[in-house]
Amino acid sequence: MSELKHWRIERESDGLTWLTFDKAGASTNTLSADAMEELERALDLFEREPPRGLVIRSGKEAGFIAGADIEEFTQIASPEGARALVQRGWDLYNRLAAVNYPTLALIRGHCMGGGTELALACRYRVAVDEPGTRIALPEVMLGIVPGWGGMLRLPRLIGPPPALHIMLSGRALDARRARRLGFADECVPPRVMENAARMLVVSGRPRRALPLLQRLLGGPLKNFVVAQARRQVMQRARAEHYPAPYAILDMWAHHGGNALAVPADRPTSMDAIARSPTTKNLVRVFYLQERLKGFGKGGDFAPRHLHVVGAGIMGGDIAAWAVLRGLTVTLQDQDIERIAPAIRRAAEAFRKKLRDETQVRFALDRLIPDPSGSGARRADVVIEAIFENLEAKQQLLAGIEAVARPDAVLASNTSSLRLEDIATALKEPRRLIGIHFFNPVAKMPLVEVVEGRESDPDMLKKGLAFVRRIDKLALPVKSAPGFLVNAVLAPYMQEAMRCVDEGIAPEVVDEAALSFGMPLGPIELADTVGLDIAVAAGRQLASAGEPPRKLMALVEAGHLGRKTGRGFYTYNQGKPQKNKTGLPPEGLAERLMRPFLAAAQRCVDAGVVTDSDLCDAGVIFGTGFAPFRGGPMNYLREHPQAAAWRDG
């Protein structure tokens, strides 16, 4: 069919047919309306001339299919439009699933959303075993549901509990895990992927049968599975804030995974989801994330060697993360005894992540203890992550400048000292930038890349490229007290702790923030960060005022939060022991959020970030600010009554 623009059809002499998706004019495959219409036309042809077997693959280096076209989704203006979009994919994939010839999806690279649902509609799936292969149904992250058959077919294929976990979390599977769960029939290296697909699609192999227990969980025990899943969802997402996960449970439990079958007047219907402001704001967050991903693109800086000075929790975890992303890392501290704990923590992290002792050994080979600091001479990027002392950082970086390559990036991970003050010790202050990670490094996606008054723009570009290289979201910020994230968090946490000083229980304070939509209450957050760190963060901002009394008393007694087993809460196996509490008093959530939102506005006004969208992106990914609200500046725009909060 030469008239197809996005798909190529290639028939072999034995009747095996390859259908290659290669979206015209795009670097990634997305299932736009015209691409779906062409797929339907291809199925029309195969209905007239059935292939011996059909293999669907990608013609893009970037991956298999990134999912539906988000641009088209944002243009839907009504619930009727949303239903029409779901109907199109539901009908087309049901048709693909019902064809009388064998079909196979050859998955290499990212396979997301509608791409995963297309793969589920095929009889077989081959996943290519390489780092870029990631398979997910991430619709819940956009406030929507897998409406093209994912809720129907995934539980039948791998069993309800793992299927619901995948759909409710949006987390991705790698190729090996996809094979272990039964999503993929085969997991093969790239060199044999086409032969593996060719052999499997015509093999006549019967479909994988679910074990008896999994069949029971999808039948007589379905209500038990839903109740368990609902309890887990309720721990991290309230129905009034995030309706999509509850809709997924209802659609699977009561409507066979058919989103179109839910009555329009139900809170879990497609109509309700389409009207929800959560969906609009989560799509906004998706675009904010894409903008952050764009920083660091386009240059030719490709760092391979990182040198980290300071093997404490932060420095050691930065080193371990970079190793997992393929870099060679030299880790420096005063002696090998100080480096050893970081190596042990890294080995544990590698085992959890890689689950392959050979790969763990390879990773550990790239993490090199370096008490003499010789790695600084060869590194592309040097990051100091020592304790927050100006003279110590100045002396250290001056020594590194003397031996480092002239084109190497020199960076400080400082969170409380002015970059300009540190740079005064350098012969070339322009070389110094900030690369500020957040704790815990493995969980926090954001990294602030800080521009000092004299920082060289080329060094900043390299810093952004480095952050992108290690799969973090880079946020460019100007040097200012607290940069963006800490500048916003500190007054919020201080206000929360003043509430405790006034006699309000920590549990009540945290509940007020949770009711606003924050993922973690400010008191528990302070305990998690460390109360000593909270004190330092408060001191770096002149507007924070006198530190809260209870906070100082706990720090003086050595009770620093989760890491010492006691802070505002007592911790048992890392979990805070909280008393049950009722609803927080009216106005408490507003009181907590007022300094948070006012600080965000001040950062925009002061030019710490270049615009309000970047402020929203940084605060969401750096603090966890309620994503369904679209960011603090977006919240201020959508809630005129909160405009007075801008002034604190």
Of 451, 309, 321, give the one whose Cα is nearest residue 386: 309
Asked if pLDDT for residue 111 goes beyond 70, the answer is: yes
Cβ-in-10-Å burial (0-12, 13-18, 19+) of 563 comes to middle
Peptide bond into 627 cis (omega under 30): no
Distance (Å, whole) CA 292 – CA 427: 32
pLDDT band for position 647 (cuts 50, 70, 90): low
Least confident of 35-39, 375-379, 484-488, 544-548: 544-548
Determine whether 412 is an active site residue: no
Residue 538: band (very low, low, confident or very high) from pLDDT cuts 50, 70, 90: confident
Confidence tier at 320 by pLDDT (50, 70, 90): very high
**Band of pLDDT at residue 252, cut at 50, 70 and 90:** very high
Confidence (pLDDT) at 608: 97
Nearest to 312 by CA among 347, 338, 349, 346: 338
Helix (H, G, I), strand (E, B) or coil at 440: coil
* pLDDT confidence of residue 290: 94
Task: State pLDDT tens for residues 381-424.
Answer: 999 999 988 999 999 999 999 999 999 999 999 988 899 999 99
236 pLDDT exceeds 90?
no
Residue of 208 and 104 predicted with greater confidence: 104
Told to judge if 6 belongs to the known catalytic residues of this protein, a careful annotator would answer no
> What does the pLDDT read at residue 641?
72
What is the distance between the alpha carbons of residues 284 and 503, in angstroms, rounded to a whole number? 39
DSSP 348-400: HHHHHHH--HHHHHHHHHTEEE-TT-GGGGT-SEEEE---S-HHHHHHHHHHH
CA 285/CA 612 separation, integer angstroms:
13
Whether 486 is a known active-site residue: answer: yes
70 vs 96 pLDDT, higher one: 96
Tokens of 615: 């402020």
Question: What mean pLDDT do residues 448-456 have?
Answer: 96
- The C-alpha atoms of residue 495 and residue 493 are separated, in whole angstroms, by 5
Report the percentage of the chain scoring pLDDT > 70. 98
Q: Which of 396, 477, 401, 375 is nearest to 435 (CA)?
A: 477
What digits encode the pLDDT tens for the residues 179-218?
Answer: 999 999 999 999 999 999 999 999 999 988 899 999 999 9
* Nearest CA-CA partner of 167 in 185, 147, 184, 195: 147
pLDDT at position 255 is 95
Copy the structure tokens of residue 572: 């048992």
Query: What distance in Å separates the CA atoms of residue 525 and residue 510, rounded to the nearest whole number?
Result: 9
Tens digit of each residue's pLDDT (9 = 90 or more) over 254-301: 999 999 999 999 999 999 998 899 999 999 999 999 999 999 888 889
Phi, psi angle pair for 19, to nearest 5°: -115, 110
Average pLDDT of the chain? 93
- Residue 26's nearest CA partner among 70, 77, 60 is 60
Residues 572, 563 contacting (CB under 8 angstroms): no
- Within 8 A by CB and 6+ apart from 278, the residues are 143, 241, 242, 243, 244, 628
Choice among 448, 495, 507, 524 that is catalytic: 448
Least confident of 278-282, 413-417, 435-439, 484-488: 413-417
Structure tokens at 237: 């997402």
Q: What is the CA radius of gyration of the chain?
A: 26
- Domains of the chain (ranges; CATH) run 7-275 (3.90.226.10), 305-479 (3.40.50.720), 486-647 (1.10.1040.50)
| pLDDT band with cut points at 50, 70 and 90 for residue 119 | very high
Above 80 in pLDDT, residue 644? no
β-strands 63-65, 110-112 pairing = parallel
* Residue 469 pLDDT > 70: yes
Q: Are 295 and 465 in contact (CB under 8 A)?
A: no
> What is the widest separation between alpha-carbon atoms in the chain?
81
Q: Is 638 a catalytic residue?
A: no
**Which residue is catalytic, options 139, 307, 436, 451?**
436
Q: Of these residues, 486, 507, 511, 524, which one is catalytic?
A: 486
> How would residue 140 be classed by pLDDT, with cut points 50, 70 and 90?
very high
pLDDT of residue 583: 84
Give the pLDDT score at 455: 96
**What single string gives the DSSP state of each residue in 210-238?**
PPHHHHHHTTTTHHHHHHHHHHHHHTT--
Q: What is the pLDDT of residue 545?
A: 66
Give the chain's length.
648
Residue 536 has pLDDT above 90, yes or no: no
Note the pLDDT of residue 170: 94
Give the pair of three-digit tokens for residue 161.
């509990």
At residue 2, the pLDDT reads 53
Does residue 566 have a pLDDT over 60? Answer: yes
What is the model's pLDDT at position 383? 98
